[in-house]
Each structure stands twice: as C-alpha cells, then as structure tokens.
Amino acid sequence: MTEDLKRPQRKKKVPRKATPKSLENAALYYLQRFSSSSENLRRVLMRRVQRSAYHHDTDPEEGAEVIAQLIKRYNEVGLLDDAQFAKVRAEGLNRRGSSARAIRAKLAEKGVAADLISATLEKLKEEDQNPELTAAVTFARKRRIGPYRSADDRSELREKDLAALARAGFNYDMAQKVIDADTAAELEDEIEQNTYG
C-alpha cells in the first residue's frame, strides 16, 4: 500500500480539564440525556476526572470531592433519585421480558444498592402477582418459542426453548411452565388474572 492511500492518523483529542464548572455541565448534560443512579453518575464523572488527571496532571481526589458534592446536591433537589430510577428501570425491563435475575444484575451494574433492588422487585409484585411469569411469557412471545412456535416444531425444539429461557435467567420450573403450556392463550389468561387493576 502506498503512502498516499493510507488514511492520515487522527490526533487524539486532549480532554478538557475537569473543573467544578465543567463537571457540573457534564453531569447536567448527561442527566438530560439519560436516567441515572447516583453511583452510575459518579462513575461517568470519575472517568472524566481520571482522563483529565492523566492529561493535565491534576489531582483526581479533588475531582472526586466535587463529584460527591454534586451528587449530594442533586439527590437533595431531586435530580437524582435511586429509588425512582430503579423502579422505572425494573418495570421497563420486566415489560420487555427480563427475568428478576436479569433485572437484579442490570440494576447492580448501574450501581443501585442491593437492598433497594430487592425492595424494587417486591414492588413489582404490587401491580402483578407474578411478574416473573409475565416476563417469561413476554420473552417467549418475542422469541417465538414454546406455545408461540408452530405446532410441528414444538416437541423437537423443546429442550432448545427451555435452554433459551434458562439463559435469560428464568428458573427451570418457570421455563417448563411456559414451554409446556398447551396454548399461548392459556398463558395470556393467567397473566391477565395475576394483574391487578
């Protein structure tokens, strides 16, 4: 390959210096675009502080103190609310067919405390007696497995369907209940009976 055909190397952009004002601007911009837990926002801002410390030889501890003050203030004024974040996120994941185990892992990944995750999963049961069944049926419907599969393929693909539900975090009994249901309508009726409203 000749020299003139090679792409010119881009210069790596030097990050801005992490000042209290730039960190606040970054935090507000992030919160405008994404819902976040306190810990997740702290991680996002600390990455910015670490890059700044590396390039500008600044003290990361000063940045950490500024971030702690920002997060404290945002919690006080309601810009950050871990309980609300966990509730909304868990409900959305459940509606999309995520198991309780998957929801727990995703909330933990975002820095939500374990006791808050447990409380959030309990609150899911206030609207639906069996949110795990609802999620499993949603997952099966989206993947077209079990009773959502054509009758010709069901028996030979049963083990594969069970494995798909297991990988998604559903226990064996729940997977078996969904995959072995006679019809999709049977599952849908049970979900409707479990839902309060």
N-term to C-term CA, the chain: 68
Q: How far is CA 12 from CA 9, 26, 44, 55, 141, in A?
A: 9, 20, 20, 11, 46
Domain-wise residue ranges, the chain: 20-77, 82-125, 131-194
Mean pLDDT of the region 51-70:
92
CA 31 and chain centroid, separation: 16
Mean pLDDT of the region 6-17:
76
| Residue 75 predicted with pLDDT over 90 | yes
Q: What is the pLDDT of residue 16?
A: 84
Q: Is the pTM for the entire model greater than 0.75?
A: yes
Question: pLDDT of 85-127, one tens digit each?
Answer: 999 999 999 999 999 999 999 999 999 999 999 999 999 988 8
HEC readout, 72-102: HHHHHHCCCCHHHHHHHHHHHHHHCCCCHHH
